Structure formats: C-alpha cells, structure tokens
Homo-oligomer: A and B are copies of this chain.
Amino acid sequence: MAPRSHDPEELFAAATKGERGALARLLSLVERGGEDARIVARLASPHVGKAYVVGITGAPGAGKSTLTSALIGELRKRGARVGVLAIDPSSPYTGGAILGDRVRMQDHTHDDKVYIRSMATRGHLGGLSLATSEAVRLLDATGHDWVIVETVGVGQVEVEIAGKADTSVVVVNPGWGDAVQANKAGLLEIADVFAINKADRDGVESTRRDLQAMIELTEFGESEWKPSISTTVATTGEGVEALLDAVSTHRRHMETVGELTQRREARRREELREIVERRLELRARELCSGAAWERLESRVASGAMDPWSAADEMLRGISA
C-alpha cells in the first residue's frame, strides 16, 4: 500500500488507478468543503461526463438500499464500474447511515469495481447538496460508469439532490396511496421511473392504476417524458433487470430529444449558483467574527456608530 498522501493531485491520480483509500480521502475533502474541495473539483472537471447518474429516492422502508444493492448486482453483470452515494439529509452524522447501508449492500463490499459511500448533513443543508454534486463529479472523473445517488424522502433537499441525477427512480410500495397522499405531487415532480418495490405483496395492480391515473392527470409537453412504471422484488432480484431497462429507455429518450444535455447543463448552472451563494455565506460568517468585527459591533451597540456605516466598513471591497 502506498504511503498516505494528503496532496489532492497525488490522491486524484491514485484514485483514477482504482485506489479506494485515495478516493475515500478525496471524498472526505469534498465533504469538508474547504479550499481542498475546490482543488479536487478542478482536478476532476476535465474528466467528467462519462458516468450515467441514477437517483433512487422514496419513503423510509420502501426498500431503496436493497434495490440499490440489486441494481449494483445487475450493473456488475453488465461489466460496469459502479459508485454509490447513500445520502440521509435527516441524519446529522454519517455513522448511522453507513451502518444500515452496509448491512444491505454487503454483497458488494469485496468487489473492487463497486465503491459505496454514505454522506450526511453536516450543519448546513446547502452544503450537502453541493457536496453531493462534487462527490458525483469525483466518482465520474475516477472512472465509474454508473453513479447511484440514494436519498430518503421528498423534502426540499431531497428534491434538490434528486435534481442531480440523469434519471430519477422513485421507489414506492403496494398500497402506498393511503400513506403518502400528501407527497404525491412532490414524487411526480422528480420521478422519471417509478419502481413499485415489494411487488410480491398485495395491491400491486391498484398501486399501478393509481400511479397511472396520477401521471395521466399531469400535463406533459409533446416531446416530454411520461414517467414509466416498473415492478420489483429487490430481495429476490425479480424485475431489477427490467427496471434497469426502463432507466435505459429514459436515457435514450433524453439523448434523442436533447434533454440529457439540457439537464446536465442546468445542473452545472445550479452548482455554480450554489458555490457563489455558499462562498458569500462563508464570507459573511468570516466578516461577522474576529477582533475587527467585535470592535465595530461594540461601537454600534453603544450607539457611537450607526450600523450602516459599520457595515460599510466591514464590507469595504465587497460592494460594487
């Protein structure tokens, strides 16, 4: 094993050759989001665009991790190298998420063509969304043919994260209709493909009809994709090949109408916006701390200085 390097360039070269330890360290740099994350992004950028990114989302307990594990197996049969990001916006720590995922995905832990990583919120939510973009970019640049991004739920952050996928798979279960009534609009907004998982249970057909009715009630443009519906039993692998075919059908549709390019361009635009916002936010935090800030703050607090003049003094060099 090579000596532990902390130089992003060396780490990137090693990760490209398939060294998992180097990739893990790069992903940690990306998660931390400092100057090193920026260097990693610059190293990775020229090498991206080869990976196909699939999002897997749905309610807790829908079987997302098991389905992800089955999809990895199917992709491995086809000879692909696979990277997986398991993201839990509701968990402040990475630990818990890792445990659950590893249990379900342990079939693949000894396969050196599969790389699985858990990511969780660390403080700022915007940070997780941006860190996900960067992690996807890195997995793409280091030779993964497919990147699977697994997230829980359909809150605002989950929708943001789902927006980072080329194809979004929403996992539901038979009889889901009653349970998640309120979330249907959110699910439809992000779904390219629905997977009715645990399809060995009762109620598959009524769930399919329910989804179909919902899709038909939605306005789609002429060339636009209408979400397709697959049925799977992730625990046995039943229907997983067909689900992957459904993803490929969506991919071909997007390539034909030019939407894949559009989606990826929109994603990069969004990422740029996130970076600008994030950096201004960090800058604000920097400005609102330290000795100079405290000095000005005291003068404002005592009334010796008006807050606008103090802000001017802090923001000198920032205003246009």
Q: Is the Cβ of B268 less than 8 Å from the Cβ of A276? A: no
Q: Is the Cβ of A272 less than 8 Å from the Cβ of B297? A: yes
Q: Is the Cβ of B319 less than 8 Å from the Cβ of A279? A: yes
Q: Is the Cβ of B272 less than 8 Å from the Cβ of A280? A: no
Is residue A287 within 8 Å, beta carbon to beta carbon, of the partner chain? yes
Is residue A320 within 8 Å, beta carbon to beta carbon, of the partner chain? yes
Q: Is the Cβ of A280 less than 8 Å from the Cβ of B279? A: no
Is residue A307 within 8 Å, beta carbon to beta carbon, of the partner chain? yes
Q: Is the Cβ of A308 less than 8 Å from the Cβ of B275? A: yes
Given known A272-B296, A319-B283, contact A41–B306 (CB-CB < 8 A): yes
**In the complex, which of the residues A48, A301, A317 has the most CB atoms of chain B within 10 Å of its own CB atom?**
A301
Please report which residues of chain A, range 97-146, place their CB below 8 angstroms from some CB of chain B when the two chains form the complex: none
Docked pose: A69 CA to B240 CA in angstroms: 69
Is residue A286 within 8 Å, beta carbon to beta carbon, of the partner chain? yes
A21 to chain B, nearest CB (A): 24
Docked pose: A271 CA to B308 CA in angstroms: 9
Residues of B within 8 A of A302 (CB): 265
Docked pose: A126 CA to B275 CA in angstroms: 22
Is residue A13 within 8 Å, beta carbon to beta carbon, of the partner chain? no
Docked pose: A266 CA to B302 CA in angstroms: 10
Interface on A for B, CB 8 Å cutoff? 38, 41-42, 45, 48-49, 265-266, 268-269, 271-273, 275-277, 279-281, 283-284, 286-288, 296-297, 300-303, 306-311, 314-315, 317-320
